[in-house]
Structure formats: structure tokens, C-alpha cells
Structure 1
Amino acid sequence: MAQPNDLLAVLVDADNVPPSKIGAVLTEVARFGTASVKRVYGDWTAPNQSGWRAAASEHVIQPMQQFANTKGKNATDSALIIDAMDLLYTGRFHGFCIVSSDSDFTRLASRIRETGVTVYGFGERKTPASFRNACDQFTYLEVLELETPDEPTAATKSAVPARVVPANLRSDTKLVAGLRTAVSAGSGEDGWADLANVGSLMRKQRPDFDSRNWGYAKLSDLVRATELFEEKPRPGGGLLVSAKKKKNGS
């Protein structure tokens, strides 16, 4: 489990992440530990990167210049990967946060995880499954806007997923099957499972699992909305859940 004093390296691909999203990303990163290294990679001579100057300054992120020496070759990705491996070899970091929607970082994420270090991925919904699944946990940038305190704009409202009603949740066979399996695997002899463990088991199977993908801020809200599980307080804090019995008692 992540601890507040866990040291994290945050590496951002400016070619694939708009600067307007970085504040929400860093707020999410703070849930996992302390971002002791924050770097953003791009060619700052390119006109489309001008917005990163203010964002990097505001959030104290070190800009890493990488010229596009050859057209069609992504030198930014290479620079980020090299730095990530250098930082990994120091042995100082408990986790790496790779912020990109690019599948080019799939092997990097896999390589970091081979050493036992946690990888948190952040990207847009268009991020290829190969990169998402190579991370321990993957968060879509769109769902982070659910927690922004400012008055949402029309663009923000369209990006935030609507809260899915119970009937539609139950028709999501992949979600229901995953929750049932996780509750069963995490339950004791009495059939009750710690909800925190259920979430952990879900993310092991689907790194991009996040209750916010269905419009619910917390896992407990999502599980409750399915109306398929019973719940009760866990001694010492938290919740326990169990699959509801069918009406015929079977």
C-alpha cells in the first residue's frame, strides 16, 4: 500500500499531455506519495509547447529540452526513457508516475515493474491497452476533472462521465463479473470481503479500473449503486461487502 512518504518520480510527456491537466495529475499523485522528482519532456522551441512554460513554473516541474533532430522520430520519448532508467538505478524511488497517452512507454513500464517498483500511468482514454496494462494502476485524465473545484466549463462537462444508473451498471457484464470475482476471491469463510482488498484485486486484473470511470467518486458508491452486494462496517474502519443471496435462497 502506498505511503505518504514514498518517493515518486513524475515524468511527463509534453507531446501527449496538455498543460491544463497537470495540476489534477499532481493532486492525484499526492495520494500515492511524495513527488520528489518532477520533469516534463518536450521541444520547447515548438509553438505548440508554449503553454507548458507557465504550467511548469506554477507546479515546480523541471523542463527537459529535447530537440526534434530528425523528423518523424520522437526524441522526447527516448530522453524520458533514458532518464527513467537512470533514476531507477539509484534505488531511491518507490514508484514512477508516467504521464502520457503513448504506447511507446509500454516496455519502460514493464521494465520498472520487473524490479518491484510500482508504476502509475496517467493518460487520455485513447491510450492504447498495451501501456495501460503494463502499469500497476492507470488513471484516465478525463476522470480527474471530476474533482476540480472550479466551475466546470462546457468542455469539462462533456469530458466527465455521467453517473451510470444501476440498471446500466448491472448490464456491464465485464464490471459485474470482475466485482463478483474480486469479492469471492477476497472473502473469508463467512463470505465477507474487505472493500479495500476488492479494489486492489480489481486493479490487478484491470490496471485502469477506477470507480470514477462510471461517474462515482468512491468504490463504495459504485458497489452500492450496482445493488448486487450487501455491506456492513468493518471493525476498525472501512467496509465489508458480500454478494447478495438470490431470492430463491440459492
Structure 2
Amino acid sequence: MEKTDKLAVLIDADNAQPSIIDSLLAEIAKYGTASVKRIYGDWTLPQLKGWKEVLLTHSIQPIQQFGYTTGKNATDSAMIIDAMDLLYTGNFDGFCIVSSDSDFTKLAARIRESGLLVYGFGEKKTPVPFVSACDKFIYTEVLRAEESDEETTPIKKLSAAELKRDRKLIRLLRDAVDAASDESGWAHLGAMGNIIAKQSPEFDPRNYGYKKLGELVKATGLFDIEEQVTHRGAKAIYVRNRKRR
């Protein structure tokens, strides 16, 4: 039986929206099993009512943290302390930190120093240092767009012209092909994706309106794409920089 990573999911109720919960947990399931699910906030406040309504359904444990001092975020401190306690148990393979708050930057870095994975979830306003401190960072705007019962505007699928104008994206894709390619210049799409993930934690083809990396690469019109069938009958996709043809 294939091993599944055990993950600790810690949610900052003050900096996350309850409307994402179904898509959030579905996304987390791609990376492992949510062995612990905790959410932090002052549950005496009316603004957390939306979260209260979904906690029981999804078996998320609410952690009460009173705001003792105005201007100080006691919720962040409680999350950080709990995270370190969970880290020291040695029972987890990774952490999911759900917040757009830069206060968790050092926590993410500390967890990674211990050899564990960190998946961050937050809005696009999340400060770059926190995003960069994670192994992978998923913007919650993508998750909200995937909620079937949520009246949100789907993320716009960018055209080839729009994608080409994004120099950072094109450079990221080209460099990944170069790094993953063999002597013929062809790179396996999976290897390419692994390289991109290491270089850019926030990269996600859904940010550009595409569900899969292969769809995004094809949409740019800048790469040759070839599909091959392996000896086991599985399909493998290979990519080459078109300019080197």
C-alpha cells in the first residue's frame, strides 16, 4: 500500500474565508491525509459565524483564542505555538498553513528546516516572503473559483498573446524545459513541473485559467509538444523549446 503523507492543517480564521473549505480540503487531499485539522480565532466574535457553520461538517477543531490586547494578534501566536508542539511530536510529514498573514513566514521556514513539507494557502495579497517560505503556495482565489455553488467569476483563461507578455512565466517555462531536457532538447512534462515547483512555490496553471501544466504550455504556442506511449501503455508528454527546432 502506497504511503500517504500525514499533514497537520492549521487555519487562521481571521485570514481565511469559509467559502473555500470544500475546495481547500480537496486540494489538501492531493498532497496527503489531513490527520489534524485545527482552526484558530476568537469564537465569541460575530464575524466568525460563517466558520462555525462548517466546522462540525468537516471535523475541524476550533481553538479559542481571546484577543487580550488591541492591535496584537493572539491567534497567530496560538497557531505558531501549536505548530511547534505538533512538529516536535514527529508524527507528521508536512503542514498546511491557511492564512494570508506574513507572521507565519518564520514558522514555515522553521518547519522546512526540520525536513517537513509546508503547503501555504492564502489570497494573492499574501506577502512574498511567506509565499517563498513554503514548498508550495496555492492562492485561495483559485479555490473559490472552483466552488460549484459559489457565485464567483472564474479565473480568466489568458490568451497566447497575454501569456507571452508575461516574461516571468515564459522564462520560468523555458528554463524548466532546459533543465529537464535530454540531449535532443525534449523534456518530460512531469520533470519540468517538479523543477518549476522548486523554483516558484506560487506557480499554478490555474492562476492563468488552465487546469493542467500541459494545457498552459500548449497555450503559449512557444513549445513543441509530443505525446508518447510507454512500454506499460501509459501516456507521457514531452516538451521542447520551439525556438531551438
CA deviations 1:12-47 (Å, max 9, x no partner) are 000100111122111100000100100000000111
* CA deviation vs aligned residue, 1:129-149 (integer Å, no higher than 9, x gap): 010000000000001234333
| Residue in 2 that maps onto 1:229 | 223
Q: What TM-score does the superposition give when structure 1 sets the normalisation length?
A: 0.92
The residue correspondences of 1:19-58 to structure 2 (distance < 5 A) are: 19-58=18-57
- Which residue, 210, 214, 226 being the options, matches 2:208? 214
Aligned residues: 240
- For 1:106, the equivalent position in structure 2 comes to 105
Distance in 1 (alpha carbons) for counterparts of 2:193 and 2:206: 13
3-state secondary structure, aligned to 2:4: coil
Does residue 241 (structure 1) correspond to residue 239 (structure 2)? The answer is yes
Measured after TM superposition, the shift of residue 96 of structure 1 is 0.3
Q: Is the Cα contact below 8 Å between 2:100 and 2:122 reproduced in 1?
A: yes
Question: Do 2:96 and 2:121's aligned partners in 1 also have CA atoms closer than 8 Å?
Answer: yes
Q: Secondary structure in 2 aligned to 1:39?
A: strand
Give the whole-Å Cα distance in 2 for the aligned partners of 1:145 and 1:210.
Answer: 15
Alignment partner, residue 200 of structure 1: 194
Aligned to 1:77: 76
Unaligned runs of 5+ in 1: none
Contact 1:20/1:55 (CA < 8 Å) preserved in 2? no
1:62 aligned onto 2:61: yes
Runs of 5+ consecutive residues of structure 2 not aligned to the other structure = none
Aligned sequence identity (%): 56
Judging changes above 3 Å, is the alpha-carbon distance between structure 1 residues 4 and 231 closer, same or farther for their aligned structure 2 residues?
Answer: farther
Contact 1:5 1:34 in 2 (8 A): yes
Indicate the SS of the match to 2:206. Answer: helix
Asked if structure 1 preserves the Cα contact closer than 8 Å seen for 2:76 and 2:103, the reply is yes
Which of 157, 164, 176 aligns to 2:158? It is: 164
Provide the C-alpha distance between the structure 2 equivalents of 1:177 and 1:5, rounded to a whole number of angstroms: 33
- Structure 1 runs of 4+ aligned residues shifted over 4 Å read none
Instruction: Show CA shifts across 1:184-219 (max 9, x none).
Output: 001112211111121121121111000011000111
2:19–2:144 contact (8 Å) kept in structure 1:
no
Cα gap change, 1:82/1:22 in structure 2, threshold over 3 Å: closer, same or farther? same
Q: TM-score, normalised by structure 2?
A: 0.94
- Distance in 2 of aligned mates of 1:136 and 1:192: 26
**Partners in 1 of 2:12 and 2:145 — Cα distance?**
23
Distance in 1 separating the partners of 2:115 and 2:235: 29
1:53-95 residue CA offsets vs partner (Å, 9 max, x unmatched): 1111111100000011111111100000011011111111111
